[in-house]
Amino acid sequence: MREAGQRLVLAFDFGTRRIGVAVGNELVGRARELEPLPARDGIPDWNLVARLVEEWQPALFVVGLPLHADGSESEMSRRARKFGKRLFGRYGVPCEWVDEHGSTREAKSIAREAGHRGNYRDQGVDGIAAVLILESWFARGEGMPSR
């Protein structure tokens, strides 16, 4: 159960086969990974997403945008934006986007340092990437949008 005044944020690392998920508390600026959502061509099981929303009751969604190095949109960033818009449309929770350039590479490095071995396609680092996305949003210090 959340304490009064704590605002939770759910973050997503969009992918076509898996969508990483992290939850964080804006007051302390920390996040932790949750179980990734399986996806088929970028479409999650919306029932699983609904369960996450019901369980955590987030005040905001944050979705990572895989932009090109020059900051321009990629096909995946357009799909990630569409995913964020669908989140807002289904749950009425505001959504913000964060440039996630390099988050997967950093997540793989973190996993290696933690002793994870093997094929990242099987094990995945999506949750770690979602944590990095959310903590980068916290570091921006923009606070929550007004309702």
Strand, helix or coil for residue 109: helix
Looking at the chain, the whole-number percentage of residues with pLDDT higher than 90 is 54
The mean predicted confidence, pLDDT, of the chain is 82
Within a domain: residue 48? yes
CATH number at residue 73: 3.30.420.140
CA dihedral 128, 81, 26, 53 (to 10 degrees): -90
Q: Residue 146 domain-assigned?
A: no
Beta-bridge mates of residue 95: 61
pLDDT digits (tens, 9 = 90+) for 75-129: 999 999 999 999 999 999 999 999 886 656 655 555 566 555 554 444 567 788 8
Q: Which residues on neighbouring strands pair with residue 13, listed in sequence order? A: 20
Range of the domain at 31: 8-140
Residue 97 lies in a domain: yes
